[in-house]
Amino acid sequence: MPPGDRLTVLYDADCGVCTMTARMLHALDRRRRLDLSPLQGFTPEAPGDPVRADLAERLHVRDACGRWASGGGAVLRIMAAVPILAPLSMLGRLPGAGRAVDAGYRWVAAHRDGIGRRLGVDRCRIDPARLTD
Is residue 3 very low, low, confident or very high in pLDDT (cuts 50, 70, 90)?
very low
Q: Quick one: pLDDT at residue 107? A: 93
In a domain, 45, yes or no: yes
Q: Is residue 133 part of a domain?
A: no
Query: What is the torsion angle, in degrees rounded to the nearest 10, for the CA atoms of residue 19, residue 79, residue 56 and residue 15?
Result: -20
Domain count, the chain: 1
Question: Which conformational region is residue 107 in: left (phi greater than 0), alpha (psi within -120 to 50 degrees), or beta?
Answer: alpha
Quick check: is 63 in a domain?
Answer: yes
The verdict on residue 26 lying in a domain is: yes
Within-domain flag for 118: yes
Instruction: Report yes or no on 2 lying in a domain.
Output: no
What is the domain extent for residue 41? 7-127
* 14 lies in some domain: yes
Lowest mean pLDDT among 2-6, 14-18, 42-46: 2-6
Tell me: pLDDT of 56 over 70: yes
Query: Which has the higher per-residue pLDDT, 32 or 1?
Result: 32
Q: Is the pLDDT of residue 130 over 90?
A: no
| Residues 39 and 60 sit within 8 Å (Cβ to Cβ) | yes
The angle formed by the CA atoms of residues 13, 86 and 108, to the nearest 5 degrees, is 40
Q: What are the φ/ψ torsions at residue 55 (nearest 5 degrees)? A: -65, -35
**Element (DSSP H or E) covering residue 107:** helix 97-110
pTM over 0.85: no
Q: What is the pLDDT of residues 24-54, one digit of tens each?
A: 999 999 999 999 999 999 988 888 899 888 8
Residues in the chain: 133
Give start and end residues of each alpha helix (H) in 48-111: 52-57, 71-81, 86-92, 97-110
Backbone angles phi, psi at 34, to 5 degrees: -105, 130
- Four-CA torsion 42, 13, 70, 23, nearest 10 degrees: 120
Q: How far is C-alpha 101 from the geometric centre of its chain's CA atoms? A: 12
31 is a domain residue: yes
